[in-house]
Amino acid sequence: EIVLTQSPATLSLSPGERATLSCGASQSVSSRNLAWYQQRPGLAPRLLIYGASSRATGIPDRFSGSGSGTDFTLTISRLEPEDFAVYYCQQYGSSPWTFGQGTKVEIK
């Protein structure tokens, strides 16, 4: 099973700042089969990025994804108040599909 490790566990930033979240895989993720999700408190996860870098429908362009192989990054260019949430990466290139443990982006 591919283990995904997200860092940092918590990111303390101010609105307007840039956020950089990392997701490392224990094995290469085939065909860039990596997604990012946002989860606000009490709500269902929301798909942000698939295919490592493709934005899902309706996702603002301040969210961008990059990476390949074992190293992936989610960048939020300028944090808006609604962006303070927990972010998860997920690989779907090999079974079982696995998630990272999450990065919490909190207001500094």
Residue 53 CB, nearest approach to another protein (Å): 13
State the first-to-last Cα distance of the chain, in angstroms, to the nearest integer.
35
Q: Which residue, 79 or 91, is less far from another protein as judged by CB?
A: 91
Question: How are beta strands 10-13 and 103-107 bridged, if at all?
Answer: parallel
Binding residues for another protein (CB under 8 A):
33, 35, 37, 43-47, 50-51, 56, 88, 90, 92, 95-102
Residue 99 CB, nearest approach to another protein (Å): 4
Among the listed residues 64, 62, 74, 66, the one whose alpha carbon sits nearest the alpha carbon of residue 16:
62
